[in-house]
Structure formats: C-alpha cells, structure tokens
Amino acid sequence: MRYDTADLSSTLLEWYDRHARVMPWRAPPHSGIEADPYRVWMSEVMLQQTTVAAVKDYFERFTRRWPTVRDLAAAKDADVMAEWAGLGYYARARNLLKCARAVVADHGGRFPADHDTLLTLPGIGPYTAAAISAIAFDLPETVLDGNVERVMARLHDIHTPLPMAKPELMQEARKLTPSKRPGDYVQAVMDLGATICTPRNPACGICPWRDPCAARSQGTAFELPKKTPKKPKPTRLGIAYIARRTDGAWLLETRPDKGLLGGMLGWPTTDWSENAPQEGPPIATDWHDVPAEARHTFTHFHLRLAIRTATLPNDALPSRGQFIPNTEFRPSDLPTVMRKAFDLALATLRDS
C-alpha cells in the first residue's frame, strides 16, 4: 500500500508533539521558544559520533561557562580543550573554536541562516549545516544521521548495505521532509529512531509509522539497516612517560594541533606504531616500568601504552614538555587515554 508523504510527516509531527524528548539545547514544540542557533550548533558538533547521554553534562558546562558565541570566541584554547577532555574526537573542539571566531569575525556574532553559507564555516559539513538550517532556522533541509538512516531503511525495507545505501536513504528522507515545521520534523525522526525504532528490539507496536512500515510487514525490521562488515582494527603500541618533580609539579606537553588528541594536554609519549616502540623519554633519568598498560580504542585502531614513571629533581631540564604545578593540574583536563595512564601510574609514583 502506498502512503501519502504529507500524511506520514503529519502523523510523525503529531507523535512528536506528545513525546518529544527534553533536551537542554532544544526548543520544545509549540512552546513559543525560538531555537538558539548557538546552542543548536554546539549540540550538533558535540553529538557527532557521541551519545546524548555522554553530551548533556559537557553541553551544560560549556554553555554555563561560555553562554554566547562571542564568549566562546574569546576563550583561551587551553581552557576549551580542557573542558572538552573525555568527550573524544578532539578535532571537533579545535573546530568549535575556529567556527566561533569565524562567526564573530565574519558574521557579526550571528550564525548565518543559510545552508550554503554555513558550509563555509570551519568544522561544519553537509550534515551539520542541514541540521542547523532545519532546527535553528526552520528551513526545509533534510538531515541523515544514524537514527534517520535506520528509520528510512525499515520504513522502505531497503536492504542495500551502508554506507552504499546513503544516497537511496537520503532520497527517501528528502521526500518526507515537510515545508511546514521542518525543524520539528527533523528532531521527530531522530527521536523516533532513538526511542522507538532502536537498533535492537524496536518497539514496533507503539510506532506512529507501524502501518506504513514495509520492514515490519515483511518481518525484516530486526535485520535492517544492513552494513558492510568492518575491517578488523589494527593495534598500535607506544610508551607514555609520567614524571613528577620533588616539589609536586607534573611534566606534561601540549600535543601538536594536527593528529590524534591534537591541541590536548598529555604525557610525553613515543610515536604510536604497529611495531615495538623505540624508547624516547623526555629526560634521561631512572624510569620505572608500571606493571600494566593503558589501553584505549580510537576510531581506526586500538592503542596499548606502556607506562614509565620517574621522580625528578627540582632543577630537571627535560627536552620537551613543561612542568605544571600540582595546584594547577587537574586529571580531568586530560584526554581519556592519558587519564587511564595517570591512574595506573599514580600508585607507583606514591610508592617511589
């Protein structure tokens, strides 16, 4: 049976009006509150490859500390990177600052209400530009994230595996995007995928689209969307050097802007490679092995860091890095893998 696309969109919006999730960056439907483009943009950047549950606390801290795009543009790079620590995909934090500064410098502190102009801003790609256009400015742009892909694949019983299926899924999603309330509609499809049309055990019985859903009628919903098998991730090895002066200061370095953990504060390390790492301590001294590895998984590889610790005299002159007084050092400012290494090293340092 064929269903009218306008009816499908209207049905979903009616469901959304009753069941919309409460989000700190969202303007509730029919509330009379206008969406704040700054908050929409920040939430979309933070949510890339991350869950809502992981993002909420970060979003609230960021917007308390930097409530406007002008405040963020004026922030120190190190402060922003420290607040981002633990959220991962650190290039997003660097682009967050670049984008905020571009909005202030080139657009008078206002996000442009135009999809093509949004695409010219640092860190804003097609998905983010479409999401901001729709949610912040109520423009009829089509958004395709993981939730929307799953909903479209099941609604139309599309068996082409991802990522090959993306153009077909985008075409179907575009047909359903209404000209009226497109921002609410975008969020409605996302909510449907997050709460009803979930990856496992979809709640088809209470879905507003259960009748038109082709995969439900064919009994294939549980196997969609199909995905091309991923290649196994390689494992890379490295060494982290964690040193503390006798006055309590820690030896840390800011990693280069380009590359993994770019711009983040961390322990001096060797290069990370699939071969056994070559020793490369930041200072010649008596280093002690920690009998455990810091293990972490990035997007494209697993990392195993051996850990060396040392206590240094107050006149130590390392070849790289800087000493940060213990009163100014916050482990929470470290990216996750560096914090794992610190936790493992701490007991050894206390005993040395």
CATH number of the domain to which 330 belongs: 3.90.79.10
- Say how many CA atoms lie within 13 Å of 341 toward its Cβ: 25
Residue 299: per-residue pLDDT: 84
**Which residue, of 223, 245, 279, is where some domain finishes?**
223
In a domain, 196, yes or no: yes
* 138 and 186 in a common domain: yes
* 342 and 252 in a common domain: yes
Kindly indicate the confidence band of residue 24, based on its pLDDT and cuts at 50, 70 and 90.
very high
Residue 50: per-residue pLDDT: 84
**Which residue, of 179, 199, 223, is where some domain finishes?**
223
Kindly indicate the confidence band of residue 18, based on its pLDDT and cuts at 50, 70 and 90.
very high
Kindly indicate the confidence band of residue 349, based on its pLDDT and cuts at 50, 70 and 90.
low
Domain of residue 20 covers: 5-223
* 22 and 166 in a common domain: yes
Q: What is the pLDDT of residues 92-118, one digit of tens each?
A: 999 999 999 999 999 999 999 999 999
Q: How far apart are CA 43 and CA 220, in angstroms?
A: 33
Q: What is the pLDDT of residues 232-279, one digit of tens each?
A: 999 999 999 999 999 999 999 998 888 788 888 999 999 999 998 989
Residue 333: per-residue pLDDT: 86
Between the alpha carbon of residue 337 and those of residues 79, 100, 228, 290, the distances in Å are: 19, 27, 29, 15
Kindly indicate the confidence band of residue 350, based on its pLDDT and cuts at 50, 70 and 90.
low
pLDDT over 80 at 352, yes or no: no
Residue 51: per-residue pLDDT: 87
- 8 Å CB contact between 135 and 40: yes
Mean pLDDT of the chain: 93
Residue 2: per-residue pLDDT: 60
Token reading at 337: 């893998």
* 103 and 210 in a common domain: yes
- Active centre residues (catalytic): 44
Strands 288-289, 302-312: pairing is: antiparallel
